[in-house]
Amino acid sequence: MAAADQEPHASAVRPRSYQDESYLHGFLGTVSDLQKAGVLQDVVLEVEGRRFPCHRLVLSAASPYFRAMFTSDMAESRQKTVVLQDLDAAMFEEILSYIYSGTLHVSLDKVQPLCQAADLLQLDYVRDTCSSYMAMNVERSTCMDLYKFADIYSVDSVQKPCLHLIHRNFLEVASSEEFCSLSVNQLTEIISHDELDVKEETTVWEAVVRWVQHSREDRLHHLPSILPHIRFNLLTSDDTTAILEHPLVREQPGSSEVVRNVVQKGNPDLKPRLGMTTEMAILCFSFKELFFMNPREGKYISCNYKIEDHPHARTMTVTSDNNIYILQTEVFEDGNQLSLFKYKHKENVWEKTGVSSNGPEDDLYETHFHEVDRILYYLAVNPEEDRPLLEMKKYNLQTNQWQDCSQLQLRETLDHSATVSCGSHLYFLRSEEVHRYNPSQDKWSKRTPPIDVPDPCTAVAMGREIFCIDFEFTQTMMYDTDSDCWQELQGWPNPRNLGMKYRPSLFVMENQLHALLDVDDPDRKRSPTDCAHHVYVYDRSADAWRELKATLPDLPDKKYGVYGSCAPVARLYLPYLKRT
């Protein structure tokens, strides 16, 4: 046979590419060895008098700053020695170590100048790593120093957690030396926030006085620009008079006029500070009476509304920005209509907002109301159907528009169920089926059910976890939304073997799990419908429910009702409630 016949056909020999996995690491290691040995170096960088021999090629590959310097017509591209300004020599040494090794060493004492140097040299990885490191180390002892740096260099990922900690610890922060070193813009940014944890507005004024007096001659002229950030609507007339008579105000021309103008004009949009508000669970007695309670602090307020002022609510939710919404079902000849109402804190009234949408056919429907990423979701299901259909609509607060969402076909007639928002998802919970709704995809997906436990009747989210209990509170179930796993926890101890009169309700207050129980207690029963009210708090470290020694108002023949799967909790300024 001819030799040509023995050769493989050309089309059968295909080209291939091979990747040497060790090349990149080995190449960088060789470059580092050349630097350490001082071989092939072709430029010297001088920083604060220290000389750093380097390779132009390596510097240009690592940094757009050096690439522009060495590949353009700049004078530095032709110089053997280049002097770098506005850099710290020790930090530049760390930068060079990273460029030649790929390893970055960060510590709290050098992270700020290192981040500053990386920003100048356009080293994104170093700058972003420093930012992440600072954000991870925001603590009460570091927040002021990191805030000032983050403010100057516009590092939002650090500035936000710093401000959060400053607001929550304002009394401590305002008494520190670092507080007095703030710029006037930084000061006004801090005291302008709703999240300031102060009990009285005079605390803010006293902090301003301390800041001005720290450098009186240089700062007194700033006072007229600072005063509008004091919330005079939260001060008594005596407090305002005291400010007007303060030596700083009397000494600075124009300050008194600013105060009088602010007080005269007022600003209804200025809210009470966070520290002036109280977390209150919201319950209902009837269509016209709401009950606000904080059993931890022994605060209980009942508000009665006129029928025309308080809508016939089907369900309620409190949003992440502390707004309270309820949905009312209005009956018309051509069908039911949903109307959305928003609570106006200052006036303690409900105001109709947005547009209406078609509602459920009849009152058999169980309804739920949740918020996810500033979108309101209304869920309705008829539990008596053989295979119930969970219907859902969403309401966009920005566009004031309702829109239908994907429906969920359930397996069988419902006994009890619960819905809850957690993170960026909604969850429907039963013992034998769990579903998660993804708003970005408008899609329901199956998740792992707890199985072999009673159906949950109330559920609430804390962080990435969902807690739920059954009607008799025999156990507590915890669902980890990240791992899609369930954990069984202890239920109600019930030492006297009392029966549950009405459905229990979970709620979260001060970052702790609580349960409100309406118990059929013979010792306290005065009528067939009467019941005893108990509040329990969950001790996670001991996996035990402990009764909160709270004395709820003893109201015969009244039961506390809950909107939805849990008792909503909002931060409220109690003087607004007490006006009714």
Say how many domains are in the chain. 3
CATH number at residue 63: 3.30.710.10
What is the span of the domain harbouring residue 197? Answer: 171-265
Tell me whether residue 4 is in a domain.
no
* Selection from 558, 428, 438 nearest residue 502 by Cα: 558
Do residue 562 and residue 447 come from a single domain? yes
Do residue 191 and residue 289 come from a single domain? no
Tell me whether residue 367 is in a domain.
yes
Sheet containing 50-54, strands listed edge to edge, beginning at the edge strand earlier in sequence = 50-54, 43-47, 81-83
Tell me whether residue 16 is in a domain.
no
Tell me whether residue 166 is in a domain.
no
CATH number at residue 567: 2.120.10.80
Handedness of CA 96, 102, 103, 109 (dihedral sign): positive
Do residue 47 and residue 88 come from a single domain? yes
Do residue 244 and residue 285 come from a single domain? no
Do residue 288 and residue 435 come from a single domain? yes
Tell me whether residue 159 is in a domain.
no
Within 13 A of 373's CA, how many CA atoms are on the CB side?
8
What is the total residue count of the chain?
580
Do residue 40 and residue 187 come from a single domain? no
Do residue 127 and residue 230 come from a single domain? no
CATH number at residue 248: 1.25.40.420
> What is the pTM for the complete model shown?
0.79
Write down the number of H helices and E strands in the chain: 18, 29
Tell me the pLDDT of the chain (580 aa) as tens digits. 455 555 555 557 888 877 777 777 777 777 787 788 878 888 899 999 999 999 989 999 899 999 999 888 887 777 888 899 999 999 999 999 999 888 899 999 999 999 999 999 999 999 999 999 999 999 999 999 999 999 999 999 999 999 999 999 999 999 999 999 999 999 999 999 999 999 999 999 999 999 999 999 999 999 999 999 999 989 999 999 999 999 999 998 888 888 888 887 776 667 899 999 999 999 886 667 888 999 999 999 988 877 566 666 678 899 999 999 988 877 666 667 788 889 988 888 888 887 776 766 555 567 889 999 999 999 988 766 777 888 899 999 888 888 999 999 988 766 788 999 999 999 999 888 999 999 999 999 999 999 878 889 899 999 999 999 998 898 899 999 999 999 999 988 887 777 787 888 999 999 999 999 887 766 665 555 567 788 999 999 999 999 988 777 766 556 667 777 889 999 999 988 865 4
Do residue 306 and residue 395 come from a single domain? yes
- Among 236, 265, 294, the domain boundary falls at 265
Strand partners, 486: 479
